[in-house]
């Protein structure tokens, strides 16, 4: 199993719109969200999404929140994704 889910550039690589965003997030965050991934991405599994380059920040949020995808402005989706990762890290026992 992968340890990280890639996160795609929310600005599609446009240099004038570069934002700081997480390059990847823990794959384990998606545990229990496979069904929503398939619903949102035409039947593709989490593994397939990862192999194809991962999610955009707003796509990752939709899967993690078990809801249909809807556009969220790039900076807001990055901020919300960063919060979700921090909360997950706080509430998930680390494997040390």
Please list the pLDDT of the chain residue by residue as tens digits (96 residues): 679 999 998 876 555 567 788 999 999 999 999 999 999 999 999 999 999 999 999 999 999 999 999 999 988 999 999 999 999 999 997 754
- Report the number of distinct structural domains present in the chain: 1
Query: What is the pTM assigned to this prediction?
Result: 0.88
pLDDT of residue 19: 77
Q: At what angle do helices 57-64 and 74-91 cross, to 10 degrees?
A: 50
DSSP state of 28: G
| Domain residue limits at 71 | 25-91
pLDDT of residue 96: 44
d(CA 26, CA 89): 9
In a domain, 9, yes or no: no
Q: For residue 89, how many C-alpha atoms fall within 13 Å in the half-sphere facing its CB?
A: 8
pLDDT of residue 4: 96
In a domain, 16, yes or no: no
In a domain, 1, yes or no: no
Q: CA of 38: how far to CAs of 13, 28, 64, in Å?
A: 26, 17, 12
């Amino acid at each position: 199993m992968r340890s990280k889910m890639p996160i795609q550039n929310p600005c599609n690589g446009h240099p004038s719109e570069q934002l700081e965003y997480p390059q990847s997030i823990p794959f384990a965050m998606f545990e229990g969200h496979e069904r929503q991934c398939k619903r949102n991405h035409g039947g593709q599994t989490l593994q397939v999404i990862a192999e194809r380059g991962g999610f955009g920040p707003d796509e990752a949020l939709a899967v993690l929140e078990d809801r249909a995808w809807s556009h969220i402005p790039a900076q807001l989706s990055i901020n919300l994704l960063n919060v979700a990762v921090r909360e997950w890290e706080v509430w998930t026992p680390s494997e040390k």
